Structures are given as structure tokens and as C-alpha cells.
Amino acid sequence: MCCFSQSVEKVSDTNIFARSSKDGRQYLVYSMTLSAKDDLAMILPIPVPKHSKEDAVRFINLEKYADFFKDLVAGFPSRSRGRASLGLGEAAGAKLEVKKVGSFDASFVPAIKDFKRLDERFRLPAGVWDKLPMYTDYGFAVFKLRKGAAQVHPMAFEFPRADPKQLFFPTVHIHDGKVHPKAHFDHALYCQQAEDENLPILKWQESVQPAGLFMKVDKAQGVLAKDGHCYLLRLRGNLKNEDTMI
């Protein structure tokens, strides 16, 4: 789910990478091109176990690897021909910890009720969560972004999963404070699978080589598996407004 605390002028070229980590956790890397008139927050609901602690999410600074997705797409030289395409009321507590992660600040919000512990500018409008009951038990990674037009450098983190057998991609859109049944997608989803995984990725395009031959694995801070191939799925067009899980 990609939702913003304020209206945005344009969001495009969204790239998301996912890979299973140790102990049932998952890596997630997110990047996009954004244009906004005001400072705002991007909120990514993530399916964490209930009652996760405030330090459950580990943020990863990829500011020095801004070309993460540029290098990643290089692993799919035939992409133009072969790509897959589918088309609450509790009192506020102590302030949530804010961490500096490259060019933005990030926080983990353990539950919907904890948004009251964030600055008002970085919350969704009142009533939005009531229309999204599927996120009642989710936690939220919140990234505070600056106004203007820019390609946002990759935002990366590692989180515990409620279901360790699923890879999660946040693809629901809320760009204007409203929940729409369909949305315009311009997404490239990437993943790697572990040797003991059997992900349903038959429709995904496989990289020609393992990641270590076209990615700067040493700059990815553990997010990538050097010897594993990568997989790509494009989501384009007016599609059902929902998250993607495999």
C-alpha cells in the first residue's frame, strides 16, 4: 500500500523489491518518482505479527546505492519483449522514534492507534482507516518526504512477517486521501526466492544472471542474495486497488 498524508501531484515509476530474510522476516525496498506541493509522509502498511514492538522494523540506508533499481533492471535485457504485465480513539502516548535514513526520516508505527503519536502532517485524514479494515492488525513504515519533484532514493527496511510463507508488496494506492476501488498502476515488482522457497512466480520474468553479476551486492547491505536470480513482474494500467502477495 502506497498512501500519502497529503495530496500529491504525480507519482510514477514505482519499483518494489522483496526477499525473505532470516527468522520469518522480509526485506523490502521501495522507490518512486514523486511531485508534491507540501512536505508529506508516505505510509506503507506491512503485515507484521500482532503486538510487534516499536523496534521490530530495521530501517536500512541505501542513500549510497541510489542506483539500486537502475542496476536491477539491467538484469533483464529483454524486458521490452518478454516482461510480464498485469495490467480509532486511544489517547496519545510517548512520541514514536524518528530515525534519519538517508535523505528522509522514518518511523515504525506499530498499530493504527499509534498514529496519534506522529505529527498531524504525517497522518492520513480521519476516517480513512475505517474504510480499510484489512489493515486493522498491520504495522506501518512511515517515511517523511520533502515537497517538490524528485526521484526518491530507495527506501529499505526489514520487518517481521505475520505469515513467513508470503512475500508482501505494498501496492494499494491512496494519493488523495480517498480509497478508490481501482487505481492507475505503473509498478515494477522484483523479488528473489530462497532455495527452500517455492514462490508462485511462473508469470514473472527471470534475470539472465544471478544478482552478483549485475548488482553491487556489497552496497546493498544484505538486502540481496549474491548467487540468486531476480524475478520481475510489471503492473500497468487501471487495476484493482489492492496489495500484492506471493
* Range of the structural domain that residue 217 is part of: 2-245
User: Which residues share a beta bridge with 26?
Assistant: 20, 159
- Band (81; pLDDT cuts 50, 70, 90): very low
* Residue at 46: amino acid letter: I
The gap from C-alpha 87 to its chain's centroid, in whole angstroms, comes to 19
pLDDT per residue as tens digits for the range 114-126? 888 877 767 776 6
Domain count, the chain: 1
pLDDT per residue as tens digits for the range 144-167? 877 654 556 789 999 999 999 999
- Give me the residue label for grid cell 518512486: 32
CA 65/CA 75 separation, integer angstroms: 16
CA 109/CA 174 separation, integer angstroms: 18
Pick from 34-48, 113-127, 174-188 the range whose average pLDDT is largest: 34-48
* 24 pLDDT more than 60: yes
The 3-state secondary structure of the chain, one letter per residue: CEEECCCCCEEEEEEEEEEECHHHEEEEEEEEEEEECCCEEEEEEECCCCCCCCCCCEEEECHHHCCHHHHHHCCCCCHHHHCCECCCCCCCCCCCCCEEECCEEEEEECCHHHHHHCCHHHCCCCCCHHHCHHHCCCEEEEEEECCEEEEEEEEEEEEECCCCCCCEECCCEECCCCCCCEEEEEEEEEEECCCCCCCCCCCCEECCCCHHHCCCHHHCCCCCCCCCCCEEEEEEEEEECCCEEC
For position 42, what pLDDT does the model report?
82
Average pLDDT, the chain: 82
Residue 27 phi, psi dihedral angles, 5° rounding: -90, 145
Which CATH number characterizes residue 91's domain?
Answer: 2.60.250
Cell numbers at 104, concatenated: 528522509
- Band (89; pLDDT cuts 50, 70, 90): very low
The stretch 94-103 carries a mean pLDDT of 55
- Band (92; pLDDT cuts 50, 70, 90): very low
For position 162, what pLDDT does the model report?
96
The stretch 123-138 carries a mean pLDDT of 79
pLDDT per residue as tens digits for the range 185-194? 888 999 999 8
pTM: predicted TM-score of the whole model, two decimal places: 0.84
The stretch 85-100 carries a mean pLDDT of 48
* 8 pLDDT more than 60: no
- Identify which has the larger pLDDT, 45 or 41: 45
The gap from C-alpha 63 to its chain's centroid, in whole angstroms, comes to 16
User: Which residues share a beta bridge with 244?
Assistant: 169
CA 77/CA 159 separation, integer angstroms: 31
CA 232/CA 33 separation, integer angstroms: 19
